[in-house]
Amino acid sequence: MNTIGKGLLVLLGAAVIVGALLAGALSSTFADTTDDQGGGVQGVPPEYEPWIRRAAAACQHPELTPALLAAQIQQESGFRAQAGSHAGAQGPAQFVPGTWATWGRDADGNGRADPHDIGDAVTAQGRLMCSLIGQAKASGLRDDPRRLALAGYNAGWGAVQRFGGVPPVTFAGGETYHYVRIIMASMKRFEAARDGGAGGALSVRGSGRGPEALRRAARYSGTPYSYGGGTPDGPGTGFCDQVNGYANGRCVASSTVGYDCSSLVQYGYWPSVRLPRTAAAQFSATADRPVARARLKPGDLVFWSNGSGIYHVGIYADDGRVLHAPRTGRVVTVEPLDSAMPSGDYHGATRP
């Protein structure tokens, strides 16, 4: 090993030691608790929600909300547990080995501390962000501590100190600058209203196959629409087909992790009912069990057609509303059945 390599090892070791000392000093700031003190969250995969809420609640700084953590995970990995990068970052929160050595721990109790394990990763992300927000608030820098913490997470706190705030767009090709901007702008769609009103999580009454499917799909409220995206395993990137998947002339589906209308329905009912992938196929598979509009129940499938075939499907959500993924540029949402799509296109409903 050459001298430079030895020097790097010394620096890395020092960084890990400093980080470990800092982590130990945080015991009064970041406590083990499961109380939700940071607000609700929507539009995240179900397997992430309890860990995000727990990580936010465990930090005494109110700036660390579930929505902030969710928006950060979306930007880091698109909620992909096995995500990796050319720089060696791993897992949904994209930890490099040196940082993981300080902040990682076996939070889910499976016997290993793994940056690919959702519970381990989100807990470590929350602990690190809590620390950085604390540093930001104590630094005297005149900026939103959330912005400063995000910049520190992406570029290291040394870069924040060097520039006296979020590094400018000229730093690192604008990576940190845009990282902070995107996360701060996207937080809103992950915020769930506490009163359960518009924008909040859907309250589903009843039990049985239909309500359970609705409840399962509703956990993804706020998730982006992605044409061709999503599977029974969760949200995913889609594709463009010369007509669909574009926004402002640019293909966005191929880089958007989310659902389209039929994949959301498929996910909701899987695996108890293995519906086919497209809206037209889902209608064909359930057409022998039609439901009159006056007799709709939560979980029933509602369809729209423009004369050339079925083009849209949603899940009836009671009270004259439908849960659906509308179109490119929108998110999974609950809307009145009469206005979710052109009212004249309503085709009918079925019960899987």
Q: What is the CATH number of the domain that holds 24?
A: 1.10.530.10
Predicted confidence (pLDDT) per residue in 291-312, tens digit: 999 999 999 999 999 988 999 9
- Structure token digits, residue 321: 């509303």
Q: Same domain for 307 and 248?
A: yes
Tell whether the model's pLDDT for residue 193 goes beyond 80: no
**Both ends of the chain: CA-CA distance in Å?**
65
Residues 273, 340 within the same domain: yes
Confidence grade of residue 123 (pLDDT, cut at 50, 70, 90): very high
Q: Is residue 310 part of a domain?
A: yes
- Per the domain annotation, does 202 fall within a domain? no
338 within some domain: yes
What residue numbers bound the domain in which 142 lies?
3-190
The verdict on residue 195 lying in a domain is no
Q: What is the pTM of this model?
A: 0.52
Active site residues: 76
Residue 248 belongs to a domain with what CATH number?
A: 3.90.1720.10
Residues 30 and 143 in one domain: yes
User: Same domain, yes or no, for 149 and 109?
Assistant: yes
In a domain? residue 58: yes
**69 and 42 within one domain:** yes
Residue 13 and residue 89 share a domain: yes
pLDDT class of 21 with cuts at 50, 70, 90: very low
For residue range 83-115, what is the model confidence (pLDDT) as tens digits? 988 889 999 999 999 999 999 999 999 999 999
Query: What are the tens digits of pLDDT across the range 271-289?
Result: 999 999 999 999 999 999 9
**Contacts (Cβ under 8 Å, ≥6 apart) of 224:** 256, 257, 258, 330, 331
Question: What distances in angstroms separate CA 158 from CA 135, 163, 205, 284, one per listed residue?
Answer: 11, 9, 51, 59
Confidence check: pLDDT of 79 > 90: yes
The confidence band for 337, taking pLDDT boundaries of 50, 70 and 90, is: very high
- Say how many domains are in the chain: 2
Residues in the chain: 352
